[in-house]
Structure 1
């Protein structure tokens, strides 16, 4: 087991397809770009994407959704079944498909087809919901949530990701996660006091925009009778409201990239953290960080639908999806650098090493020991800082592109999954055996030592601190 709480996802699945090429001329018969040399990538969409992302986090996931037996339905099953438990509902019509055509990485046109809707609930779906500890709803208005709404009333979801075509969240939902445009549309449709207050907060400028978002979120909390609403604001982060004074959660670092799927990444992360026992504020902070990193790694378009599924008790948790980042860097012919350590007390020696490592290549993935791994290596009383804090500090460094966590004493298993081109260790390992060196040679990689700022170590810092307290 991974130690993470299982998650049930309820909602409408789609099959998403990207056709990516380049455009350098217009068609002779119409003023439209000609997209040539297209590569095709197929991935889960809608509620299936949220479930897929939760499963990639190393979580046990069950997806309840409408599915047919047509070509699109079979393809989606192929992508999902290795990673999660599927509970299909009978569907009228064909599974919806969404195809994006991109040139130079930018969408040119989107083609939608398939109008399938889930017809009815099944006994299996009802039983799964009755036994589920945490539920994420992604309602795209295609029948799945409507079919199970009576069962959801008895077990309010931890997270409800609403969409314009779907119904309102159920009272008692712990967190609702609309995007900015969705929150504005939902608030505009309210009547009475809630709508009046939300509309009165409008205006131009960043300050007035935040006031408008805060008013709309508060109105939705009251109207929907939910515990909290968080409005996602893209590169500005997210605004969390319980109905009065809002909390603005900014991004640690803004990333430019494809935002497709960022809302699903946000909802899946928040639902997972709430299922694990996090507070709502902690879940929103984690979701903002995960969604920002997801966009920076290429968004949904960078997902490798055919990649291996995580498995086993020690499967590495890929925080921020380093695998997608590495795939994107490699696709552009770049060099992937990795470095590792406990990073219990981040000091100048660590920072200098990581900055130097980043200059070697085109991305830096930091492999960090889990709390249990640090304890085995350093003894009782370590780590001083828990894993979540260590990861957060590392990801705040501009030189760090992604963080991956491993539970073993050494990172060989994680390195075998990531396959970096360069593995970096500090110069204090000079003369010592590097077990990772032989591993890197298996795929043509290279382990290197970098100069290390002498006199700096977490152990030495702790010893000096202990002396000063005597």
Structure 2
């Protein structure tokens, strides 16, 4: 499957469900309380994070999609913090304010990376709270491309059919992250995404793959689901659809540090990819890659659009090497979003020699990413004469791409690389030779947007022209 990361910026996803605030108090403990046999924690820091449905929305926003969330919050400080965190991340909030219930909050006390205590603040919602949520959420559905129902069993989605039917009538796919053993309430959803434990709690233990697939297809048909996506931890994911062979993808994580929030990441990426126009199997593959990234780090973590795009590119060998202008522009944008310094150099590079290798290694040390732009064959002929190049552009690019110092190689047919410089806007333009910085082609352009220009000497006093002349004389 050839994956292409979709344009998440063109996608809009609405999340309805149980939003909550995850609070963490961190501190050291050095003694036992004289009041009871419990450790005394001296709190030195605290952290608040959106959780539940709010975390799904946060993940969607991190991808670059338009994210909104409809949920219930209390009229309290925790609700203000939750809404503030979401709005600061660009998530549109459609909150119903409960008169008698607090914002669902989970407080964790942590010492030396060990959770000592969790305190939950939550109360059952009143009918008027659910009615207010329903009114707000249904009005927001027509403005999205995909609807996510994020059920954490706290009561906001006790009756999800009103949302499923409203979305389907508007032609909007519905992705459901279920909870509990009553999957019947999600009847008609486009995609249901239980994990293996949730799935087996409904259909019974599946001793082998054939039983899992058989029971999964039966469940999908019984509930009239468009598809059933079972997330299976270290065993990957399995997608079941009507009239199609089961699709299984292995887990991507090489090391698992923390599975917290991985389910939210899967649902967020799946929904955002579908909203951006990806097919379901492609969206599943991207969600699988994102899950691998999420579990390889500590705590809940949102996967950004550039991070996911880099991971997808790496799978297809596009992380480094020869690129088109369009591929290179995406790679540069992703690297810049990660704070990496982009270095650019250009030349014919007809016969790679020791001088080139040393020069490129020195150029790479100026930043984190090195782009080498090389003149296409017709451009070389205009500059060097009809007897050049010795090697065609494909071979020259392949050799350069094999050098450790070089990240990306691209060709250009013009006489100068100014078009590429205008498009890519590298942080540093580097040229080798005896030029003064002001003589470097493109120097004025680079400095105009705040970039830097540097001239490096070729090592070993080598030049391609001298090598060509020596070979010709000897022959």
Q: Please say whether Structure 1 and Structure 2 have the same fold, judged by a TM-score greater than 0.5.
A: yes
CA contact (8 A) 2:161 2:187 kept: no
What is the aligned partner in structure 1 of residue 306 from structure 2? 318
Q: Which residue of 81, 102, 120 maps to 1:112?
A: 120
Q: 1:89 aligns with which of 74, 96, 109?
A: 96
SS at match of 1:254: coil
Contact 2:8 2:273 in 1 (8 A): no
The corresponding residue for 2:256 is 256
Q: Does 1:62 align with 2:62?
A: no
Deviation of residue 28 (structure 1)? 7.6
Q: 1:276 offset after TM fit, Å?
A: 1.6
Quick one: structure 1 residues 424 and 124, their matched pair in 2 at CA, closer, same or farther if it must change by over 3 Å? same
Q: Decide whether the 8 Å contact of 1:21 with 1:37 is kept in 2.
A: yes
Q: CA deviation at 1:88?
A: 1.7
SS at match of 2:148: strand
Of 137-146 and 100-109, more deviation after overlay is shown by: 100-109
Query: What does the per-residue CA deviation read over 1:357-414, in whole Å, with 9 as the maximum and x for residues that have no partner?
Result: 9x99xxx99799xxxxxxxxxxxxxxxxxxxxxxxxxxxxxxx9xxxxxxx93367xx
The two structures have a TM-score, normalised by structure 1, of 0.60
Deviates more, 1:167-176 or 1:21-30: 21-30
Moved more, 17-26 or 88-97: 17-26
Q: Distance in 1 between matches of 2:450 and 2:32?
A: 49
Does structure 1 retain, via aligned residues, the 8 Å contact 2:432–2:455? no
Residue 231 of structure 2 is aligned to residue 229 of structure 1: no
What is the deviation of 1:258?
Answer: 2.2
Query: 1:114: how far off?
Result: 1.4
Residues 38 and 132 of structure 1, relative CA distance in 2, 3 Å threshold? same
1:14 to 20, 44, 49: 20
Pick closer, same or farther for the CA change 1:167–1:253 going to 2, 3 Å. Answer: closer
Q: Distance in 2 between matches of 1:411 and 1:49?
A: 34
Q: In 2 relative to 1, CA 146–337 (structure 1 residues): closer, same or farther, beyond 3 Å?
A: closer
SS of 1:119's partner is helix
- The aligned counterpart of 2:388 is none
Shift of the 29–234 alpha-carbon distance from structure 1 to 2, 3 Å rule, reads farther
1:76 aligned residue: 82
TM-score normalised by the chain length of structure 2: 0.60
Aligned partner of 2:198 among 159, 165, 182: 182
**Alpha-carbon distance in structure 2 between the residues aligned to 1:42 and 1:427:** 48
**What residue is the counterpart of 2:48 in the other structure?**
42
What corresponds to 2:165 in structure 1? Answer: 153
User: Distance in 1 between the 2:22 and 2:112 partners?
Assistant: 19
Counterpart CA distance in 2 for 1:286 and 1:66 is: 30
Distance change (3 Å), C-alpha of 1:257 and 1:154: same
**SS across alignment from 2:238:** strand
| 3-state DSSP of counterpart to 1:79 | helix
Name the CA shift for 1:24/1:116 in 2 (closer, same or farther; >3 Å): same
- Partners of 2:187 and 2:223 within 8 A in 1: yes
CA distance in structure 2 between the partners assigned to 1:425 and 1:180 by the alignment: 52
The residue number in structure 2 matching 1:394 is none
Deviations 1:108-166 (A, max 9, x none): 44322212424314544322224433201102233333456324223244310112287
How far apart, in 2, do the equivalents of 1:57 and 1:38 lie? 32
Give the distance between the partners of 2:66 and 2:134, measured in 1 at CA: 21
- In structure 1, what is the Cα distance between the partners aligned to 2:233 and 2:429? 36
Counterpart CA distance in 1 for 2:217 and 2:21 is 34
